[in-house]
């Protein structure tokens, strides 16, 4: 491959003439925006330990009343993108949110899609489009684009959850904004109770649901039991994992980001396929080492780690009991854009 001309090769006068007219020569920058064979990600592997975050989050609870914060969140920012960008990867935003007993985070909706993965505490809830979704550790709650949501807390102890939004993408596309509303009434039935058996969906008067998001809450107890069953019944299956989907259509639960749960068997080592999307791991229960290229990140319960796409990742359960992970990635986006790749050697 030939070396392309540099900006400095051009006379200053010529460069100034271009700049004045908002013109840029492509060739000095071409390899930067389209490197050979593999992208050059800004996303760097990063580990956020819950034991570091929690005291600072509780301190935020003392420093900033909920009314002054609206959402009391510490953002897990990837230094490779610069912290100001508040992004974990090109399309993923991660935040640890604290709600104290009696607090209320007011109702709003926004264009970015969001989910919550509950980290600890009991008694809090998110009301999504008038449906009260209780929060327990490991539960996944969807708040897809345009859905009203607010958070309340009737329990005794602080509640913390992990927010995942496709905010960096929405912001980049210049479509990110929000609306406020008054407190929602809890008027709608708990949709998760209509989808308790796989393969069975409601059909009043033989009609199937036409809602784009028929279910908002995926209780961890159900998901955990499914993973344990899979591990037990299929002892030779290497990767014991499930995908969170729309129970009516089987499509990804949301449009942009993918959500998954995995069980690592006791002491299991698992090499993940090398794929194009960035990926985030969050330990729901247990502990594991996550090796991203040559670096090893030790994760305990509630820790969160991200890895760029096109990068080998190896997971190792460091316990003699199962470890359960939540994962989120950019697969649905990559598939829609036609850029999804799985480069694992067959
Ligand atoms: O709880 O609605 O972490 O609107 C960032 C923006 C959480 C939320 C975040 C939000 C929320």
| C-alpha distances out from residue 239 to 80, 141, 227, 265, Å | 30, 24, 10, 9
Distances from the Cα of 119 to the Cαs of 112, 207, 234, in angstroms?
Answer: 22, 37, 29
Q: Atom of ligand 1 at shortest distance to CA of 105?
A: 1
Question: Looking at per-residue confidence, does 346 or 185 come out higher?
Answer: 185
Question: Domain of 292: which CATH number?
Answer: 2.60.120.10
Token reading at 30: 């071409």
Does 13 reside within a domain? no
Pocket of ligand 1 contains residue 150 by CB under 6 Å? no
Please give the number of the atom of ligand 1 that sits closest to the Cα of 178. 4
Q: What pLDDT band is residue 3 in, cutting at 50, 70 and 90?
A: confident
Is the CB of residue 292 less than 8 Å from the CB of residue 42?
Answer: no
Looking at residue 346, what is its pLDDT?
58
CB 299 within 8 A of CB 290: yes
Range of the domain at 112: 46-337
> How far apart, in whole angstroms, are the C-alpha atoms of residue 244 and residue 326?
10
Read off the pLDDT of residues 289-340 as tens digits, 9 standing for 90 and up. Answer: 999 999 999 999 999 999 999 999 999 999 999 999 999 999 999 999 999 9
Contact 331 CB / ligand 1 (< 6 Å): no
- Give percent above pLDDT 90 in the chain: 96
pTM over 0.95: yes
Give the pLDDT of residue 1.
61
Asked if residue 272 belongs to a domain, the reply is yes
Give a yes or no: residue 20 inside a domain: no
Q: Using one digit for the tens of pLDDT, what is the confidence trace for 97-129?
A: 999 999 999 999 999 999 999 999 999 999 999
Q: How many domains does the chain have?
A: 1
In a domain, 324, yes or no: yes
> Which residues fall within 8 angstroms of residue 100, CB to CB, at 6 or more apart?
61, 66, 153, 158, 159
Give the tens place of pLDDT for each residue, 260-278: 999 999 999 999 999 999 9
User: Could you tell me the distance, in angstroms and rounded to a whole number, from the CA of residue 134 to the centre of ligand 1?
Assistant: 17
User: What average pLDDT does this structure show over 83-104?
Assistant: 98
Most informative mutation of 74, 75, 95 for ligand 1 (most atoms within 8 A of CB): 95
What is the C-alpha to C-alpha distance for residues 61 and 231, in angstroms, rounded to an integer?
A: 40
- Is the residue at 149 inside a domain? yes
- Percent above pLDDT 70 for the chain: 99
Question: Is residue 22 in a domain?
Answer: no
């Amino acid at each position: 491959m030939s070396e392309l001309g540099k900006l400095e090769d051009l006379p200053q006068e010529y460069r100034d003439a271009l700049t004045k007219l908002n013109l840029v020569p492509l060739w000095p920058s071409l390899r930067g925006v389209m490197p050979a064979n593999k992208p050059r990600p800004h996303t760097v592997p990063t580990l956020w330990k819950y034991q570091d975050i929690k005291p600072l989050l509780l301190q935020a609870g003392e420093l900033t009343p909920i009314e002054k914060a609206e959402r009391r969140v510490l953002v897990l920012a990837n230094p490779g993108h610069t912290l100001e960008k508040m992004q974990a990867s090109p399309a993923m935003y991660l935040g640890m949110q604290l709600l104290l007993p009696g607090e209320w985070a007011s109702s709003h909706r926004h264009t970015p899609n969001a989910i919550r993965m509950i980290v600890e505490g009991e008694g809090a809830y998110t009301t999504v489009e008038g449906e009260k979704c209780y929060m327990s550790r490991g539960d996944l709650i969807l708040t897809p684009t345009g859905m009203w949501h607010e958070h309340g807390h009737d329990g005794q102890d602080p509640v913390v959850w992990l927010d995942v939004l496709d905010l960096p993408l929405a912001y980049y596309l210049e479509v990110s904004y929000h609306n406020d509303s008054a407190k929602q009434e809890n008027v709608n039935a708990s949709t998760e109770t209509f989808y308790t058996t796989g393969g069975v969906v409601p059909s009043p008067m033989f009609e199937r649901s036409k809602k784009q998001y028929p279910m908002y809450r995926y209780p961890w107890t159900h998901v955990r039991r499914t993973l344990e069953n899979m591990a037990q019944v299929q002892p030779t299956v290497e990767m014991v994992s499930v995908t969170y989907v729309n129970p009516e259509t089987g499509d990804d639960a949301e449009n942009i980001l993918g959500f998954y749960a995995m069980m690592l068997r006791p002491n299991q080592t698992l090499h993940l396929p090398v794929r194009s999307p960035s990926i985030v791991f969050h330990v729901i229960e247990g502990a594991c080492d996550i090796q991203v290229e040559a670096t090893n990140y030790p994760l305990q319960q509630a820790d969160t780690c991200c890895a760029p796409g096109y990068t080998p990742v190896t997971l190792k359960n460091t316990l003699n009991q199962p470890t359960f992970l939540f994962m989120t990635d950019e697969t649905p986006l990559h598939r829609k854009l036609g850029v999804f790749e799985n480069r694992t050697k067959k």
